[in-house]
Structure 1
């Protein structure tokens, strides 16, 4: 049985002095070693059981600093919990084993919080996915065994995540799925730009999510918003290297997909393969609408503005006439440099064209290492909308 520290505090309510207690539950008291060699998986689960079942106000599971906790098994931190507020304080490092020593080679996840409302995960510690052995086992991204995502939040409402460093996940670093109301702030995510499928943050079927004041540099999308996302706000994110901030991919395998009210503001794309991107597969249905990208700084960014309704990463797709409808999308205040001649690409479907596309205050220049005299251009296919005449490059290819 682990030791649980109880911390009492007193507050004044209508003249009465009331005392509450909160539990401080240190994983070391449940058998964790923290030497980077011993498997601390079971100790983490025991500490979580005590935290989740605590009847105190806002209990805290403590992962102390100056230690490295090896978690060799995929672990599920399950709710619902007794308290309406649950804290996980990460001051030390949590490290995954390499691929050969991972507890369940078929697991798609490593650390999962599920059905925990009022969860607050914070601290200055690091979550290290030890992804290199996974990437090396299948470097070309095709026909690969599904790699485990490092940190997943599923059905966690009123979530807060802040302060942590996330490195080298085997797959995506953070997954937000089926969540309502979450704030992610002041996090730092890194993986080599050549690492496959290492998205920074993936959001799926979630609503009212805020991400702000963070750095993400990986081998894939810095942030990807996929099916069922609504009311997502992203501000103050420095993205790069990586594939930019993406909506999609949407509509894979003929699926119906809907996303709306997705907003990206005051972000920087530094050396990314793409900037602001919407990508949909042929054959799907549904819609992507009410989307804004505004006040974007570009530093040698590839494909700064890209809508692609013909997304097919491995070039093995057959042509189909159906796809998602894309409408009410605005790109405003883009400024900086690109290493792509076609800086603005709006490639839409002839049967389901893009509508109500607006471009304003665009000033994109060639990157310094491009050939002198390079003229930056725009390309449109079946895209309807408006573009301010002062935009650079000019976008005269839009249909009315």
Structure 2
């Protein structure tokens, strides 16, 4: 309790300080076991949080009784926030017991380890994130965020341990980071625009995903997504767009460029049937203006390119160029498959003859 209150008091003092950019230091060599903390703004000046030590979540579920189990560490409504680990700081969600407790339930509520919401001008860098109870990092309702130099780790079988989830945000950059988790390395959700992902190594994990979008009739709005110079190693997907049937809205102006694949299950995939057992519906998120270029490497499955678009809406203006994806396990050629995908390809292995004009 004393440690928790010390963090709260330090934050209040820094948030209320009029001086230019007060600094909160979590010192090297120190470990702090923390219950959920909400670092609330607005603040009177920009704030810098230097995490050189280690932050641990409460490992036992019983210790969370009566506490908010949606977030562990949360920053909200701060303008000018720097969280810097300088390559030393660690944030460990100690999520093992949560994974066990929720292994048989899709509705099990678990905390996001680090949530940044409704913030402007954020810099998150140099941290090691481990074993989140659910998502490691959520960026929600933010503008002007740069994420760099992160290492995010969770076991391949850990459920829903996304690396970085982005929603309702614009002008976001994620760069030069390593993400190895049990779910999406990065997921870009609705109401996102101008998202730039560069130099990310993903795997194991479920790839870099636009979506899922359109769940429960959601009207999706996603545009201006740029994924460049990324590597997928042993991931279940590479460049992925996923939507639910029955949704609406759009996902458009999306670029995947300069991608390296190493033993990736589904290197290029559009999946508008993300709910596998749902009945076909007439409405769907409209996917258009998607470019795949300079993508090379190996596929762990025969189908290297899968463009499974809505039977009623279809995907339009899909472009593939300079693609070379070969089999990771044999000399047999890789293949492609499509449903109602419209576009063109040039210089592609495999060929994408299933594309409609």
Q: Deviations over 1:78-124 (max 9, x none)?
A: 000011x2100101000001122225465211100000010000022
Distance across 1 between alignment mates of 2:131 and 2:239? 24
Check whether the contact 1:39–1:69 (CA below 8 A) recurs between aligned residues.
no
Quote the residue 2:327 is aligned against: 366
Distance across 1 between alignment mates of 2:58 and 2:277? 35
Deviation at 1:340, TM superposition (A): 1.1
TM-score under structure 1 length normalisation: 0.87
Deviation at 1:276, TM superposition (A): 0.4
- Secondary structure at the aligned position of 1:58 is classed as coil
Quote the residue 2:103 is aligned against: 139
Distance across 1 between alignment mates of 2:178 and 2:62? 30
Check whether the contact 1:39–1:71 (CA below 8 A) recurs between aligned residues.
no
Quote the residue 1:171 is aligned against: 134
Deviation at 1:317, TM superposition (A): 1.8
Deviation at 1:316, TM superposition (A): 3.6
Q: Which has the higher contact order (CA 8 A, sep 6+)?
A: 2
Structure 1 position 155 matched with structure 2 position 155:
no
**What are the residue-to-residue correspondences of 1:123-138 with 2, within 5 Å?**
123=85, 124-138=88-102
Quote the residue 2:334 is aligned against: 376
Deviation at 1:374, TM superposition (A): 2.3
Deviation at 1:350, TM superposition (A): 2.0
Distance across 2 between alignment mates of 1:86 and 1:179? 16
Deviation at 1:40, TM superposition (A): 2.2
Q: Quick one: structure 1 residues 60 and 143, their matched pair in 2 at CA, closer, same or farther if it must change by over 3 Å?
A: same
Distance across 2 between alignment mates of 1:39 and 1:104? 18
Partner of residue 9 from structure 2, selected from 46, 53, 60: 46
Distance across 1 between alignment mates of 2:65 and 2:151? 27
Quote the residue 1:399 is aligned against: 356
**What are the residue-to-residue correspondences of 1:1-400 with 2, within 5 Å?**
40-72=3-35, 74-83=36-45, 85-98=46-59, 99-102=61-64, 104=66, 107-123=69-85, 124-140=88-104, 142-312=105-275, 315-367=276-328, 370=329, 372-388=330-346, 390-400=347-357
Check whether the contact 1:106–1:146 (CA below 8 A) recurs between aligned residues.
no
- Give the unaligned 5+ runs of structure 1: 1-37
Deviation at 1:138, TM superposition (A): 1.9
Distance across 2 between alignment mates of 1:122 and 1:100? 31
- Secondary structure at the aligned position of 1:118 is classed as strand
CA RMSD of aligned residues (A): 1.1
Check whether the contact 1:39–1:70 (CA below 8 A) recurs between aligned residues.
no
Distance across 1 between alignment mates of 2:158 and 2:24? 32
Q: Deviations over 1:310-354 (max 9, x none)?
A: 111xx3422211101000000001111110111100001121110
Q: Which has the larger radius of gyration?
A: 1
Distance across 1 between alignment mates of 2:66 and 2:119? 24
- Secondary structure at the aligned position of 1:46 is classed as helix
Distance across 2 between alignment mates of 1:169 and 1:272? 19
